[in-house]
Structure formats: C-alpha cells, structure tokens
C-alpha cells in the first residue's frame, strides 16, 4: 500500500440524508450525476466537503449516494444510484477496475501507453480524472470533496496498475486549500530526473505531468491526430493551437512535407521541437521541415495571410472559449473568426481540421458556425468526417459531451 505522507481531512461518520425536487429525482433515475444546491428540498444536517450524502425519494426509499460539496453549486456528485452500496476502498477499486476494463484495447496496446483511465462523471466518479503516461499516473481533482478519499483512490490504482509515481493535479477551484495539497504534488514516487516520455500510436511524446496544461497532454485528441496522419501526405500543414505538437508529429509521420506548430506558449512550442526530435528518423521522414512559432494564433495567421503564405492543411484546435452559458455567443463568433482566418491561408482543395472542446457549444452549433463562416468568405465545405469522443473519454451524460472536430476539403 502506498501510504500518503499527508494528513487528509476526515469525513464525518454520520451520513447526510437528503430529499430533492421531483425533477432532480427523475434526473438521478436517468443517470445524471449532479445535484444542484437549489434542487435540495430537505437536508438532515450541514456536512463537510467529501461527506457521504444519501438521497431518498419521495417514498423515502434509497435513491442514490454521493459526495457532498458545501462549496459548490453542484452540492452532491453522485457515485452510485438506485441500489444501496457500501462506499469504501473496495467500492472505489471496483469503479477504477471497471473503467480500466472499458479501455482494454488501450490498456493492452503495445503502441500506446498514454490514455485516460478514468473520466470523471462519465465513469461514475464525478470530479475525478486519472490519466496514465507510461509508468506515471496523474490524479486530477475538480472538487475538494475527493480530498478525504484520496488514500482510497491511490490504493485503488494499485489493484490493476502499479505506477512508479503518482502526481496530483488540482483544478483552479481547489488549488487553494488548507490541507497542504498542491497542484503538481507527488503523492508517491520520485520526481522524474528527465522528461517523461510516453507512446501514442507508436509515436514518442514528452510530457510534464507536474506543470503541463490539463494533466500534461491532450489525450482526448489521439484519434483525431491519427485521422490527420492519414490525410497529410505531401502536404504543407499548419497546426494552430498546437500545444506540444501532437498533431504536427502525426502529420509528419503521415508524410507531410512541411509542418508549422503555432502556439501562444513558449514552453509548448519548445516541447513541440523536442517531440520531433524524439521521433526522428525512426518514424518521421527527415525531409519534413518543422517550424515552431510562438505567438497569438489569430495574429500569426492573419500575418501569414498578408504575406501570402498558403497551406494544404490547416488544423485549428483552440482552448475552450465558453466556460459558462453566457459566453456561448462569444465562443461561436471566435470559432467563425478562426474559420475565416484559417481559410484565408488554405490553398484550393486544402483540408480544414477544426475542433472545439467547449461543452457549452454543442456539435450542431459548432458545425453550423464553421459552415456559415465558410460561406461568408465565398467558399464551401466538402465534409470528410465529423468526429466525437474516443474510447477513453466516454460520454455518459449530456454535459459530458464536449469534443467535436470537422474534417473537410475546401475547394
């Protein structure tokens, strides 16, 4: 057992009993994982973060059990519904095991050892994500309600995967806490002496799980990167919002003759260069020219247009533009703007690859926005594919759907 050397907060032995509105009851029965503060109609007593809350239906029968979070509008995150359950370390181990089974093709792959093992609400563990990078595990928490259960989660990881080190990442909301838990903390194992390298579809990537964005890499784009590889032969490719060059390296293996990685983060564009080095000459043609550009993607692409620079494939994968509903219209406008700018530097019959990771902008709105913007610049799309989530990022409830990507030829 990997005993953590930190005093984790303890939960109260007394469970909180709750009753909720009829609408919330229906939502729970249909598998929704959240109970909002304003859906609670009766509560036995005030609880602490991470306490177990039991929800009873109007006939006072058991409905669900979840983690209580007094500091969030999402007051309870449901971890089990419809039948009573004992929530202990075995319970969490079982959840993790089920999640890992779901990823069997990745877990057993000889070519990929970086993937998401557990995807929060979509694997029955709301607010908790576990990613794997070779022998390193990253536990990312989006709510303090998991703090008291952290030892159980670490123990659960041992059942079918023995990691060399476990890193803790905390979302902005829980970074400040009184428990000496911090973002980038090593829960177990030694700090890596050299960068961590993992494999994705046979390609090597450097990742910094302690300080990198999210948990260090955008594992959710693995299959879209493979799609890019298949389309890249002989092409000049621009990878805008490239982060550490994931799409770029795949394009190069696919036979692209030139790839530009463009990102606002200097750290990311430096790593993109190193990621090319990690794969040459084994899988990438040495004839592929790679250029890493640090800068604002909107400005840099507009500048390229002024210079008359053209690409045969433009990949646009920006960060989420809408974190709340009120930001939706602004996000749609930003997507349209990116389509227009991207098409300004896309050669005739070039390929546009545009992705969105904003769950607030659903796929219809997003694909529609790209279509409208394309018409605005007097071009049209011949769609190749619309893609969604990969196996290790399952969608188990409506709000869990966030990633969509369009592949289209633009005559």
In the complex, the residues that contact ligand SAH under the rule CB under 6 A are 213, 218, 221, 241-243, 246-247, 263-265, 268, 296-297, 317-319
The secondary element (H helix, E strand) that includes residue 64 is strand 62-68
Chain-centre distance for alpha carbon 347: 31
Nearer to ligand SAH, 319 or 348 (CB): 319
The answer to whether 313 and 288 have CB atoms below 8 angstroms apart is no
What is the Cα–Cα distance from 145 to 139, expressed in whole angstroms?
14
Nearer to ligand SAH, 153 or 314 (CB): 314
Least distance from ligand SAH to the Cβ atom of residue 298, Å: 6
Nearer to ligand SAH, 159 or 337 (CB): 337
Least distance from ligand SAH to the Cβ atom of residue 14, Å: 43
Write b or e for each residue in 25-64: b if 16 or more Cβ atoms lie within 10 A of its Cβ, otherwise e. Answer: bebbeeebbbbeeebbeebeeebbbbbbbbbbeeeeeebb
The answer to whether 81 and 61 have CB atoms below 8 angstroms apart is no
Question: Which is nearest to 183 in space by CA: 149, 219, 151, 211?
Answer: 211
Least distance from ligand SAH to the Cβ atom of residue 405, Å: 10
Strands 52-56, 196-200: pairing is: unpaired
Nearer to ligand SAH, 288 or 297 (CB): 297
Least distance from ligand SAH to the Cβ atom of residue 203, Å: 12
Nearer to ligand SAH, 241 or 407 (CB): 241
Least distance from ligand SAH to the Cβ atom of residue 187, Å: 25
Nearer to ligand SAH, 51 or 263 (CB): 263
Least distance from ligand SAH to the Cβ atom of residue 318, Å: 6
What is the Cα–Cα distance from 66 to 124, expressed in whole angstroms?
10
Nearer to ligand SAH, 92 or 276 (CB): 276
The secondary element (H helix, E strand) that includes residue 42 is strand 40-43
Q: Looking at residue 24, what DSSP letter applies?
A: H
Least distance from ligand SAH to the Cβ atom of residue 111, Å: 18
């Amino acid at each position: 057992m990997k005993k953590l050397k930190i005093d984790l907060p303890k939960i109260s032995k007394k469970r909180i009993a709750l009753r909720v509105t009829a609408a919330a009851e229906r939502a729970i029965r249909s598998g929704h994982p959240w109970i909002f503060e304003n859906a609670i109609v009766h509560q036995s007593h005030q609880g602490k973060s991470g306490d177990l809350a039991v929800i009873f239906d109007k006939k006072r029968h058991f409905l669900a059990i979840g983690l209580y979070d007094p500091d969030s509008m999402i007051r309870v995150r449901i971890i089990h519904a419809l039948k009573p359950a004992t929530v202990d370390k075995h319970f969490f181990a079982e959840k993790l095991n089920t999640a890992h089974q779901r990823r069997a093709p990745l877990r057993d792959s000889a070519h990929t050892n970086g993937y998401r093992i557990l995807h929060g609400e979509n694997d029955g563990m709301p607010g908790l994500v576990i990613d794997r990078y070779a022998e390193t595990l990253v536990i990312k928490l989006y709510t303090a309600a998991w703090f008291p259960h952290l030892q159980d989660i670490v123990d659960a990881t041992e059942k079918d995967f023995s990691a060399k080190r476990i890193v803790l990442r905390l979302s902005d909301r829980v970074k400040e806490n009184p428990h000496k838990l911090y973002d980038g903390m090593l829960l177990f194992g030694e700090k890596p002496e050299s960068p961590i390298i993992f494999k994705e579809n046979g390609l090597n990537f450097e990742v910094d799980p302690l300080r990198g964005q999210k948990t260090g890499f955008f594992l959710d784009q693995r299959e879209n990167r493979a799609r890019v590889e298949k389309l890249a032969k002989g092409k000049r490719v621009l990878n805008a919002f490239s982060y550490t060059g994931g799409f770029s390296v795949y394009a190069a293996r696919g036979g692209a003759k030139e790839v530009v990685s463009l990102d606002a983060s200097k750290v990311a564009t430096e790593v993109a260069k190193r990621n090319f080095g990690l794969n040459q000459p084994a899988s990438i043609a040495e004839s592929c020219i790679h250029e890493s550009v640090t800068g604002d993607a909107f400005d840099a692409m507009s500048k390229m247009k002024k210079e008359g620079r053209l690409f045969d494939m433009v990949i646009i994968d920006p960060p989420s533009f809408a974190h709340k509903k009120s930001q939706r219209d602004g996000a749609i406008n930003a997507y349209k703007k990116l389509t227009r700018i991207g098409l300004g530097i896309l050669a005739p019959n070039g390929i546009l690859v545009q992705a969105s990771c904003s769950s607030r902008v659903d796929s219809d709105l997003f694909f529609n926005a790209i279509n409208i913007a394309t018409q605005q610049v007097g071009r049209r799309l011949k769609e190749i594919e619309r893609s969604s989530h990969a196996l290790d990022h399952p969608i188990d409830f409506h709000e869990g759907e966030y990633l969509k990507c369009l592949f289209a030829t633009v005559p």
